[in-house]
Each structure stands twice: as structure tokens, then as C-alpha cells.
Structure 1
Amino acid sequence: MPFLYDLLLKAIRPIVNKWPLPRIEEGGIYVHAASLGEVNAISPFIHLIIQRHPDMPIFLSTFTETGYRRAHDLFDGDIAIGRFPYDIKDKIDEFFRRGNFRALLIVETELWPNLILTAKKYGVPIFLVNARLSPRTLRRYRVLKSKFSSLLSLFSLILAQSETDRRRYLYLGAPPERVRVTGSLKFDLMNEEVEPPENFPSGNRRLVVFGSVRPKEEELILKAAVSLLRKNPEAHFVIAPRHIDRVQAIRKFLDSRGIPYSLRTSGEIRGRIMILDTLGELRNFYGVADVAFVGGTLAPYGGHNLVEPAILGVPVIFGPHYFNTPDAARGLLKSGGALLVHNGEELEETILTLLREENLRQKIGERARKYVLSRRGVSEKIYREILPYITSK
């Protein structure tokens, strides 16, 4: 296995050699966030450090091009930003020689061996923050459990998103006294205000948004929407596939049944169903929704962002497959801010009830919003945990 890993790094080196060396100031914090999602997640914490320690350098590395661009959008001029060199040992070593870092913060699940071992070599405290382990990742890591156990033993602290994540890290061999639950940074990301979507008329209607819909649940959702068109003349629907390449399949389903619809990109409103074939607008549509269904939950995908509609005071519906976000799902259900459905029939009936009963709709939406607000402050918790390490050097 080490041989194959070294072979992979050797193959990727020509690409990495073309990347410019990042600007790194000495004596700061090194944050590694793999991609767009992790960069967004860690942004409240980085802004907190900038605010409270304006003279402390921060270096952020990211793995993907989208993460790199997003980092520049969020922090350009405030911190140093560079591409992560695929765990190539001498490149990583150069980062640490130049940086003389106070701490290394790795976001979520990025257990790169050379990154971790190099930090240890230079005596830099290592933290896994906003740490999570999906069932799929856990199964993959379990194959090399002894290797990951030795890596996890090198962390000063592992700050998990949830109790579920904490237990998974313990199963992999993390030292129990170093694994703590601080919550998910996604709660700190959520703003209660959002701009309404452009060129989308309001009108006298009830809007249901199906967000992040996955292929194996498309037919259930579309059948429910078509049935609800007949049962509630005020109902309008926005269907947002998780991946844009599914737009054609959704169109084919509706065309085969003669159901009029519009595409967001067309700029026209036709019928009472819109397919959201753009990126980055789902939250704007949640903001004008009366009811939201969060996809990836009626089929075993694990679910997507339940917090996004909840913070906007929209009643949330999801299916039983929420293993990627178990704590948020259970918390919303326990607080009365969400409703669980198990199939297309239950989905249809639940939406119909919410559309008919305004008081119930408002009550569930307000409970959802209050639940999210009660979970904020994760950046502060992480800051307090690492403060002794970043101020002692």
C-alpha cells in the first residue's frame, strides 16, 4: 500500500510542480480545507481569528480548483492561499520550513499521512476541526484501521461535529481523551436573511421547493408533485436536482405526461413547475418557499443540507435516509421543526396538509429556525479549544 501511494504521488508531481509557491508568513496558523464545502465551512472560524488576532498570519491550502477560487473570494488579501500539493513529502516539508506554524488545523476528514507526519516532525500541534466521518468513509478507513489509528494518535484534539462522529473516530482508534464534540460549523454559516431569486414573480401561490433531488428519488417526488397540481390549485413547485445533468431526465418525465413546466434558465414562467437548472440559487428559492423537501433522503444517499431551509423559517420535510446529517435531522425532528416521511405517498400527504394549514406551517417553520439559532457558536467553541496552543508559541 505505501508503494502504491508513493507511485500515485510520483505520477501527480509534474502537475504540482507547475503551481506557484504560496506566500507564507512565519509564526501563524496553517488551515487545510480540501474543497469548496470545507472552505465555506471553516470561513466563520477564520474570520473570527482575523478579528481577534489581526497580526497572526493564516495560511489556507485547498485541494480543488473550486475551493481555491472560493478561498480567494472569501479571504483574498487577508490570508495566504495555496494549492495543496497532493501530500508530496518535500512540498509539504517546504510549507512547514517556511511557515514555522503555531498549529495545523485540518477540516473535516482529510487524513493525509505526509501532512500529519510532517507537522509532527516540526512539533506543530495538529487539530481535526469540524470533524466528521460518513458511513462510507468509515468503511474505507476501516480497511487500514491500524494505519489510521496511528495517525489519529498524533492529533492534539479532534473536535467532532456530533456524538455520532465522535464514536466513529473512537472506533478507528483515536485517543478518547482527545476527541470532543463542538458541533457543526454549518450552523455558524447560516444567515437568517437571503435575497429573493431574481426575475421570479411572487403572486398568490404556495411554493414547494424540492432541493438537492437525487436520481433514485426523482420519480417519487415528481409523481407527488403532479398529483398535488390537481389537488391544490395554489401549489407551485421548484425542483432542484443535486446535479444539473439530471435536468433532462426530469424533463422527459414531465413531457411524457404532458405537464407544462419551465426551466430557470429560460427566463419564462410556464405552468406551475420550474426546474432549477442553475447553480447557487437553491438557498434563494428556499427563502421564498412555503415548504421545503431536502433530497437524498428518500433513497439511500444520506441526505443534504437540512439547516439551509430551516434557518429561513421554512418547515422541512425529509426521508429516512439521513445518515450524513443524523444529528441535525434528529434535532429538527425533536424540536418539531421538521417532518419525516418514508415514501412518495407520505410526502404528498404531508405537503398537502402543510399547504392547507397555514398556522401549522408557520409553527413548524419557526421551530426549525429556533433550533438552528440554538446551535450556533461552534466557531467560538473551536477557538476556545485551540487558544492555548496558538498563543503559547
Structure 2
Amino acid sequence: MDLLYNLGTQITNAILPLSGIFSDKLKKGVIGRKNTFSVLKDGLNSSDKTLWFHCASLGEYEQGLPAFQALRQHYPTHKIVLSFFSPSGYEIRKNSPIADIVVYLPIDTKAHAKRFLNLVHPELTIFVKYDIWPNYLKELKKREGKAVLISAAFRENQPYFKYYGKPLRDALFAFEHIFTQNEASQTLLHSINYRNTTITGDTRYDRVYNQLSIDNTLDFIETFKDNKLCIVAGSTWPEGEAMLINFINNHSDKDVKFIIAPHNIKSDQINHIQKQIKAPTVLYSNKQSSNLVQAKVFIVDTIGILTKIYNYADIAYVGGGLGHTGLHNTLEPAVFGIPIIIGNHYDKFPEAKALIENGGMFSVATQNQFDTILTDLIENENKRHATGIQNEVFIKKNKGAVIQILNYLRIL
């Protein structure tokens, strides 16, 4: 199995540069990985004390950020290397203040692992959730490097727990400790005789709760909202946008404002959304020259401000669950104490299941269901308030994973 895995990584490493021809996103990753070793060589020397944080993408970065920030504060003289595998993480957080160096992680070959660790030589390595690379981890273990996995979430159908998953399964044993989100994940680890586990919950609860302690003011959103009830649709995809647009066009009599923050902010997609809406719209990019008060729909054609926008929402819709792209972050709006609507594909998202069971979130599969639930939340103030409070309480109840992790690392 190890031979097959290593053969696969060699083939991937050889053909990946060709993929850039067909995808701009993949092209960014290919170019970025070419530069990784030179960036590390220029930014580090053998006498530096270092920490290494690795995330698959942006979501895992946000998940690990509370722990990263605490470690940054506790080890101010250490150099921190932050690595991403996906361009969607690297391109957005390449200037992250918690790291001294941000790079793409090279493909998981034995040679890359040795070269990377020769340059980084971390005292502590933290991987987030599930982006587990056997050769890097096995090389770390050979060097007696300390590595932990945080916010781990496992499912029975993953390769770690199958007969053919030995390389990945062995990689788990390179971690000194694994902090799981739930008991089910811990039970799966115990089934393969990995025992160094602690159930801490999800660090994302700490991350979103910390959002309440910062300034979430956006003057232009406050002007647009104009003290009216506001529905924020975050990280939307076409299937959800179609439902929302249909609702807006058929309920123009309601004195409600809408904010749409599409996942895809390419100009053709933004133009398509704007053309489909019959009500007055304004784009973020044109906000300075537009009458924000008169507009009914605000379309966010930028990134990085959605979390603050949720502060102005009375109701939220979170995209990704109506199709198969993957449900986006539902905890970000939940922390502001508002009810949330999502699609019906959320089986792989335990926090969504929990929020629905707790009574603060609603799942829809059809336009009729969407219209019925959204209308009820708009018109029934008591229900809107009560369901929103359920989400706020749920977030408070589940925060605290970071303290447990830091206690284990003995830095408090």
C-alpha cells in the first residue's frame, strides 16, 4: 500500500503542472508550489525556532485561527510557517498576521517532505481537521517532531478505517495527540487502536465567538439597511440564488432589505444576478456613487467582509447545501443570534445537524419550502427572535476547545 501511495504522489507531482492549462486556480497552486522552497530558504535559517501550522484551505485556517493566535502570542520570538494546500486558502491569507512565512505545501513525496522539514525544522506542528499527508508526518516522526491534529472529524467511510488505507492510517500515529470534534471521531480512532485523543469540540466555535469582541461596524451596510429588516444570503451558489431572486421578485411589497454575497464573484455571475432581480440593486463596488437607502438589494462583489455583514442580518441564508458543493460556514451567522436557512444536503456537517436539532436553523429543498419558512420568519417577530437566541446560546455552550488544546500543550 505504501508503494502504491508513493507512486501516486510521484505521478501527481509530475502531471500537476499540466493541470494549470485547464484551471486558473490550479495554475496558481502550481506556480506557488514551485516557489515554496526558495521562500523558506530566504526566510529561515538553521538557528531559528519555528512553529508550523498547516491547513488545507481557508475554512481550516479559520477553524485553527484561535489556536494559532494564542500560540503566536505565547511564542513571540518563534518564526511561524503557515502552509496551505489549496489556492483558496493561500491567496486570501498569504498576508496573515499570525505567520512570518506563508507558503503552498509541496506535493507529499518523500523528497519534498525531507527538504521541507530540513528548512522548517519545527518545534511544534499543528494540522487542522483532516488534511493529513503521510510522508510529511512520517518524516516528522522520524525526527521526533511534536505534531498534533486539532478539530479532527472522522467518518466511518474514510480510508483511515478501510483495509486499503494503511498509509493514511499509519500517518495518524505520527501525531502525538489528536483533538476530536466529537465522540464518534474518537470512537473511530480507538477502533484502530489510536488512543491519544481528547474530545474538545470544534475550534470554530471559539473563532466565531471571538468575532463578537471586535468592531463589526460597516457604515455603508448600516446606511443600506436603514433600520429595516434585513436578510443576508452568504456564500451563495446559483441554485440558492435562484430561490432567493424568485422570492425577492415575488414579494416586492415587503419592506425588507436583502444582501447577497455570492461565493463566485466573477463579473459575469454578478451581472447575471443583478439582471435577474427586478428590484433596485447596488453593488459593493459601486457603493460610493449609489443611493444605498433607495436600493432593496445589496450585492457583495468582494471578499472578506461577509462575517461583519452578518452582524446586520435579522435572518440568514447560507449557501452550498442545495447543491453538492458543500455547505458553507453556518456558525458565522449563528453567533449573532439570528435564525438560519440552509439547503437539504448537510449530512457531512455535524454543526448543521446540531443547529437544526437545537431549533435555530431550518433546512429546505424546494422553492415552496424556502418561501414558507422565510415568510414565516419575516412576519413572526417572536419566532424570529426565539430561534435566533437558540443559535446564540448554542455557540456559547460549545466554545472552549482552544483552552483544552493549549492546556495540553502546557503553555498556559
Residue 52 (structure 2) aligns with: 30
1:292-371 → structure 2 map (5 Å cutoff)? 292-326=316-350, 328-371=351-394
CA distance in 2, matches of 1:252, 1:354: 27
Give the deviation of 1:59 after TM superposition: 3.9
CA distance in 1, matches of 2:366, 2:159: 27
SS of 2:251's partner is helix
Deviates more, 1:204-213 or 1:147-156: 147-156
Match of 2:262 among 241, 259, 271: 241
Give the deviation of 1:130 after TM superposition: 1.9
Question: Contact 1:103–1:124 (CA<8 Å) still a contact in 2?
Answer: yes
CA distance in 2, matches of 1:297, 1:274: 22
Question: Contact 1:138–1:168 (CA<8 Å) still a contact in 2?
Answer: no
| Residues 18 and 59 of structure 1: CA distance in aligned 2, closer, same or farther (over 3 Å) | closer
CA distance in 2, matches of 1:178, 1:103: 17
Matched, 1:291 2:315: yes
Residues 168-208 of structure 1 show CA distances to partners (whole Å, capped at 9, x for unaligned) of 667xx753423443221111112125523342314242111
CA distance in 2, matches of 1:284, 1:301: 24
Match of 2:206 among 156, 174, 188: 188
Question: Contact 2:134–2:170 (CA<8 Å) still a contact in 1?
Answer: no
| Residues 23 and 15 of structure 1: CA distance in aligned 2, closer, same or farther (over 3 Å) | closer
Please tell me the root mean square deviation across aligned C-alpha atoms, in Å. 3.3
Residue 118 (structure 1) aligns with: 139
| Residues 33 and 302 of structure 1: CA distance in aligned 2, closer, same or farther (over 3 Å) | closer
| Residues 9 and 358 of structure 1: CA distance in aligned 2, closer, same or farther (over 3 Å) | same
Give the deviation of 1:308 after TM superposition: 0.6
Matched, 1:46 2:50: no
Letter matched to residue 170 of structure 2: S
Give the deviation of 1:368 after TM superposition: 1.2
| Residues 197 and 51 of structure 1: CA distance in aligned 2, closer, same or farther (over 3 Å) | closer
Deviates more, 1:267-276 or 1:290-299: 267-276
Residues 268-296 of structure 1 show CA distances to partners (whole Å, capped at 9, x for unaligned) of 24542222222122222211111111111
Question: Contact 1:29–1:58 (CA<8 Å) still a contact in 2?
Answer: yes
Match of 1:153 among 165, 173, 176: 173
CA distance in 2, matches of 1:187, 1:96: 31
Residue 128 (structure 1) aligns with: 149
1:250-289 → structure 2 map (5 Å cutoff)? 250-254=273-277, 258-267=278-287, 268=290, 269=292, 271-289=295-313
CA distance in 2, matches of 1:164, 1:378: 17
SS of 1:75's partner is coil
| Residues 160 and 259 of structure 1: CA distance in aligned 2, closer, same or farther (over 3 Å) | same
How many residues in Structure 1 have an aligned counterpart in Structure 2? 378
Matched, 1:385 2:408: yes
Give the deviation of 1:8 after TM superposition: 3.6
CA distance in 2, matches of 1:112, 1:96: 13
Give the deviation of 1:29 after TM superposition: 3.7
Residue 9 (structure 1) aligns with: 13
Question: Contact 1:153–1:174 (CA<8 Å) still a contact in 2?
Answer: no
SS of 2:150's partner is strand
Give the deviation of 1:115 after TM superposition: 0.6
Deviates more, 1:58-67 or 1:137-146: 137-146
CA distance in 2, matches of 1:251, 1:157: 49
- Calculate the TM-score normalised by the size of structure 1: 0.82
Residue 26 (structure 2) aligns with: none
Letter matched to residue 246 of structure 2: K
1:142-221 → structure 2 map (5 Å cutoff)? 144-163=164-183, 165-166=185-186, 174-190=192-208, 191-192=211-212, 193-200=214-221, 201=223, 202-221=225-244
Residues 287-310 of structure 1 show CA distances to partners (whole Å, capped at 9, x for unaligned) of 111111111123343311111111
CA distance in 2, matches of 1:301, 1:82: 26
Give the deviation of 1:139 after TM superposition: 7.3
Question: Contact 2:40–2:120 (CA<8 Å) still a contact in 1?
Answer: no
Residues 128-168 of structure 1 show CA distances to partners (whole Å, capped at 9, x for unaligned) of 22223589x94799695233222223333222233455566
For structure 2, the residue ranges without an aligned partner over 5 or more in a row are: 18-32
